[in-house]
Structure 1
Amino acid sequence: MNKLKVGVIGVPMDLGQNRRGVDMGPSAIRYAGLISRLESLGHEVKDFGDITIERRSEEQVSAGLKNLSQVIHANDLLRQQVESIEEEGYFPLVLGGDHSIAIGTLAGVTKKRKQLGVIWYDAHGDLNTGDTSPSGNIHGMPLAVSLGLGEESLTSIGGFAPKIKPEHIVIVGARSLDDGEKELIKEKGIKIFTMHEIDRLGMTKVMEQAIEHVGAGTDGVHLSLDLDGLDPNDAPGVGTPVLGGISYRESHLAMEMLAEAGILTSTEFVEVNPILDERNKTAEVAVALMGSLFGEKLL
């Protein structure tokens, strides 16, 4: 992998869901040795610190969505930071925080890349809107928001919508989808590899097809990796674990194949929750996967 200027941004936000603790995810990932790991691979790394998160003492509900104004504020700040570091020539590496932060990341990177491909590595589709969400939690909505669907104050972050196109998306590892999400996937023709396809085809075939799909007609590729995409035995410190997930080894293979393809232009790792973790195991898994993603090899 070519040596990169990597710009790290932390987003210590837990407002997009119900279970507290995921706001400590960026600190846990840094503590697990992220910066030194990437520097040892020859990359130039600059830590731009954390986005400041506006907090209130009580949960706010607006338009049926929880903590809407704070989520908008945080994602707009993230958008600005991502835009800024890209202008300086850095590869954005965003650390979450719950998955609602993908709204800001994608708003930032698509200012420059209008035909962005997206690999959504996740147990969930994150394709709910206020009308289909059973919970009102915005961390279940970022992919829909980025497609221009749902609450206008979210879709309009950055001043334009949609940010991405359905034909440029691949979901990998899904095994928990709400009815509205299933309908949307079929309606929009979104490419998806559920655990059934991963089991049947194997991770090599899945990633070959995923890489081919997001590389067609795009001007960059973003990886959005939710640690709950992995099986809870390998990544226990997540807020919404789903049994029967992608293995640690399969995930390394996926990251190694992305590194070899050389197509990524930005990435984020989200939903590490140290409170629910075992001795920082999930943060360490995240850092190990980032090592593979940024070119680390055994020999």
Structure 2
Amino acid sequence: MALNIIGMPINHGTGKLGSNLGPQKFRELNILDTLKDMGYDVCDLGDIEVAEVCDEDIHRCDEKLKFYDVVIDANTKLAFRVYESISKGNFPLILGGDHSLGLGSIAGVSKHIKNIGVIWIDAHGDMNTHETTLTGNIHGMPLAASMGKGPDKLVNLFEHRVKVKDENVVHIAGRDLDPGEIELIKNSKLKAFTMDKIKENGIDSIIKESLDYLRDKVDAIHVSFDIDSLDSSFVPGTGTPVADGLTVEEAKKLLSSIAASGMLVSLDLVELNPLLDNNDETAKLYMELLKAVFENYNSSVKAQLALG
């Protein structure tokens, strides 16, 4: 089994420049050598091609959703690349890029592992639809679309089907949820552990409950990790920072525990914005979290990922 690095240099889901530079920054910080030094077989599959468009094209294909066609095209390409990786028994490590890339990563993984579980770690819900979005930014919609909620072109991206059942989703660290997202959570079967619940029960309890909940329900887990899940004081280099988030140690413990569970098969690292960072503070912290994952990764995942 190899780790396949896949860059997704997209910022069109957020409308801010900078997150498209995330994959380049990870490489500048020697992500390949870091993983190889940890004993992994690593192959960099390069970056997904993202169409170059001007600001005037923001509503070219949809009067409400921004850069709709660009996001769909790039994520379809990403889904193909992720599916190709995981279907060969490898581990796709997707480097973003804004969180709209969750559309493609989950679509690709779930084509191979139909009964996938998703742990979405994020200050935001990312569960808006075209009807509830307040901004038109598609990075606020990928989890809803993956669960079958939203416009057809997002829901049916790559394959005409729901990518993950709502009862197979765990959302962690939410604290900036829009009204439509709160309503969706209330009317679905997903588990949501807000920061209030984490503070009340402790991160250890949340980790145990999350993994116990998914262990007998799913065949494997995809994690989509947004750096803004951490408290804004730790992460200047992200586009939508939110206060009162995870501490660095809580984030490390959460990711390490999932990695050690034997269920992790793919991972998104998203919303690093080098243009907003302070002397690579956020980027270097992301590398610390990456090391925590792969120092604890259990490679005996479901008979070498042969699940499809």
Give the TM interval when normalised to the shorter protein.
over 0.9
Where do residues 52-67 of structure 1 align in structure 2 (5 Å cutoff)? 52-57=49-54, 58-61=56-59, 62-67=62-67
SS in 2 for 1:255: helix
Shift of the alpha carbon at 1:296?
A: 5.3
Which residue is 1:14 aligned to? 11
SS in 2 for 1:94: strand
Where do residues 115-134 of structure 1 align in structure 2 (5 Å cutoff)? 115-134=115-134
Are the equivalent residues in 1 in contact too, given 2:228–2:271 (CA < 8 A)? yes
Are the equivalent residues in 1 in contact too, given 2:257–2:296 (CA < 8 A)? no
Which residue is 2:231 aligned to? 231
Please identify runs of 4+ aligned residues in structure 1 that moved more than 6 A: none
* Letter paired with 1:176: D
Using the alignment, how far apart are the partners of 2:211 and 2:236 within structure 1? 28
Q: C-alpha offsets along residues 174-230 of structure 1, whole Å, 9 cap, x if unaligned? A: 000000000100100320111111111111111111111222221110000000001
Shift of the alpha carbon at 1:63?
A: 4.6
1:39 pairs, out of 27, 36, 41, with 36
Are the equivalent residues in 1 in contact too, given 2:7–2:47 (CA < 8 A)? yes
Are the equivalent residues in 2 in contact too, given 1:119–1:214 (CA < 8 A)? no
Are 2:22 and 1:25 aligned?
A: yes
Q: C-alpha offsets along residues 71-99 of structure 1, whole Å, 9 cap, x if unaligned? A: 00000000111111122221000000000
Are the equivalent residues in 1 in contact too, given 2:15–2:137 (CA < 8 A)? yes
* Letter paired with 1:38: L
Are 2:40 and 1:50 aligned?
A: no
Q: How many residue pairs align between the two structures? A: 294
Q: C-alpha offsets along residues 12-50 of structure 1, whole Å, 9 cap, x if unaligned? A: 000001221110011111222321221122111100010
Using the alignment, how far apart are the partners of 2:178 and 2:193 within structure 1? 16
Are the equivalent residues in 2 in contact too, given 1:146–1:161 (CA < 8 A)? no
Using the alignment, how far apart are the partners of 2:184 and 2:157 within structure 1? 22
SS in 2 for 1:110: helix
Using the alignment, how far apart are the partners of 1:89 and 1:103 within structure 2? 21
Q: C-alpha offsets along residues 114-159 of structure 1, whole Å, 9 cap, x if unaligned? A: 1111100000110000110000000000001101111111111112
SS in 2 for 1:262: coil
* Letter paired with 1:200: E
Which residue is 1:81 aligned to? 81
Superposition RMSD in Å: 1.2
* Letter paired with 2:24: S
Using the alignment, how far apart are the partners of 1:259 and 1:37 within structure 2? 17
Are 2:241 and 1:241 aligned?
A: yes
Are the equivalent residues in 2 in contact too, given 1:16–1:98 (CA < 8 A)? yes
SS in 2 for 1:66: coil
Using the alignment, how far apart are the partners of 2:296 and 2:279 within structure 1? 24
Where do residues 1-299 of structure 1 align in structure 2 (5 Å cutoff)? 4-57=1-54, 58-61=56-59, 62-295=62-295
Are the equivalent residues in 2 in contact too, given 1:41–1:296 (CA < 8 A)? no
Using the alignment, how far apart are the partners of 1:80 and 1:189 within structure 2? 29
Shift of the alpha carbon at 1:235?
A: 1.5
In structure 1, list runs of 5 or more residues that go unmatched.
none
In structure 2, list runs of 5 or more residues that go unmatched.
298-308
SS in 2 for 1:111: helix
Using the alignment, how far apart are the partners of 1:114 and 1:153 within structure 2? 20
Using the alignment, how far apart are the partners of 1:190 and 1:211 within structure 2? 14
Using the alignment, how far apart are the partners of 2:57 and 2:212 within structure 1? 42
In structure 2, the CA distance between the partners of 1:285 and 1:53, relative to structure 1 (3 Å rule), is: same
